[in-house]
Structure 1
Amino acid sequence: MKTICFFTGTRAEYGLLRPLMKAVQATPGMRLRTLVTGAHLAESQGHTWREIEADGLPIDERVEILQDGSTDTSVCTAMGLGIMRYGESLKRLAPDLLVILGDRFEALAAAAAATVCKVPIAHIHGGELTLGAMDDAFRHAITKMSHLHFTSTEAYRRRVIQLGEAPARVFNVGALGVENIKALPLASRQQVEQRLELPPDQPYFLVTFHPATLDAQPPREQLEALLGALDAFPDHVCVFTGANADPGGGELNRLLALSAQARPGRFRFSMSLGVTLYLSSARYASAVIGNSSSGIIEIPSLGVPTVDIGTRQEGRIRSDSVLHCEPDAAAIEAAIATAIGVDFRKLAASASNPYDRPGTSRSIIDAVLASNLEALREKPFHDVECTGPGT
């Protein structure tokens, strides 16, 4: 029996992990454990641990790490608490494998704790680039502490190998979020309108905007530019989901809450819609707008245009259905106008998604079952042959 522990600290990453967690729960020879932390346990982030329980999944360890505020120093404190407390949890859980998805600061702390506690790590979504966020460095650091790698495209698989990981341990499995779209029973348009309190056939945008943590321009200024651009489309309601717990995220959420109060007819604000309602809402939106990874990775499979703003997702492979623009009001307005035009909507409806690969969860489970998890602890360094100048 292999005990597989899933680490989850945010609503977004849990939404991606959920089908894999359920598949592990149903697989003979596997025992599911969970370590739930970070934004899940914060009231300001919507107490999204409730979604895990509502899905019938266990919460084996709850680890509080977030402090009041979302500043650089509070993130550093949370990381320190995470390393200390995650180590204690891992000792109690004694997993054979820890599954970590992505690139956030909580995930880096968990990977560090697992390394010290001699717990092998399976890392999902390694090899990607997000040049506008500190998560970019965290992701590659987690790769170097991990023992099995499940990437979302072949290009990312090659990049993980370039980082020195043995090719036999790196698998291109596609994106779990795309699998979600295919597997989840998405709501009808009428059900979405009821949940979002929208009039029948009301056009709307689905908007998520996180801090770009490496940008010199303050996150608030970028969000204000986005709000100004949205004012140019008064016939569309704007459905906002909350920013994450990165530095500056709290300020963005306060601004969104105030904006929704000031314009109740046009703005809707919710910290979290949950994965099913989020994807269902995206399915009928005129466009998905902001700088969330979901706009790059999952939304193209719905045939809906994405307007990606600023540097946060810069470097990711993207579908033809994704438009990029700078974080100023004029550029955002122009990109939205293009996105909702007849020609671009037709293009988006037929565009392929580079993250789409069948059987993502099954591929991950099969690779884990076939692995000698004890032997994974010893990691070779795979040298890539260099043929360029200076070699």
Structure 2
Amino acid sequence: MKKNFKLLALCLSLVMLLGLIAGCGGGQEPAKDSKEGTKEGTKDAKKFKVAYVISNNLGDKSFFDSGYAGLERAKAELGIEYKVIQSPNSADWEPNLKAAAEEDYDLIIAAASQMHDAVKNVAPQFPDKKFVYIDDVVEGNNVASITFAQNEGSFLAGALAALMTTHTELPGMNKEKIIGWVGGADIAVLHDFLIGYEQGAKYVDPETKVLSSFAGSFSDPAKGKELTLAQYSQGADIVMNVASATGVGILEAAKDAGKYAIGVDSDQDGIYPGHILSSMLKRVDNACFDQIKLAMENKWKSGHFEYGLKNKGVGLTEMTVMGDKIPQEVRNKLKDIEAKISSGEIVVKHYENFGVKK
């Protein structure tokens, strides 16, 4: 009887031991793809993260919105996550950039040229982070500086304005060879726009007079409208907008005065149909998308990279909104000028040392 009891106790002990081992997972095969979290759709899969730190707010329908469009494209096509950090107060530029660098972003995009000192100060503090600086140049092993040949794009815009300014068959167009230009803040990159615009206009007709004004801000539509109406009153019938959110007022002035404007950075042709001859595209969207893709493919490099007419970084819209109101001979002339700039036959001036490492 004792022997049977001892045998029963031994069996029960063995059963309990085996149950304990099974309960601890011993002998269980790991689930496939769970260890590294690389299987598509698993919760552990790490998405590529981008911070877009801008020196103003979105909603300008121009420069910053163009960069945002590049992020949206990267989200749709590459599956990234991103955060937009808006910084209309200059005192926040450096702290916001530093805060982004301290988080787990794979790429930090800083826009625009006013953030030069912020990028120059913050990037060296985070040598393992990748920074993309849009619209100016900062030297650094972890900084890719992206500039645009806006002088080339503006040359085309100035040529268009000079070609169209005496086409009196268009309502609101006078015979005077006077065109206008209104910029936001008085900074180097905008002078680079202006020098190209003036050169393009004079290339078409040396007698063309170019009026120019700076609003002193990128976020004052009322001032943009005031300056544009003043130029119309001085004989201009076409004014180029280079003013981000201030430019909303410039375009509105064209509509209210029954005159014409040229948009900037993004395609603004349809904002006031029939009053925007064309827009000078500055492909911030392409630059942001390209830099994200390169970083994701481990092909990203630091250095200075320029987007110009040759690589479709700048240019005019197709002017489809205006349609046949832009004569074919004008379109042909612009294509000829574009080809000559791309080939080097026409050399467009830069403003002083714009785009040089600082």
Shorter-chain TM-score bucket reads 0.3 to 0.5
Larger radius of gyration: 2
TM-score normalised by L of structure 2: 0.33
So what's the TM-score if we normalise by structure 1? 0.31
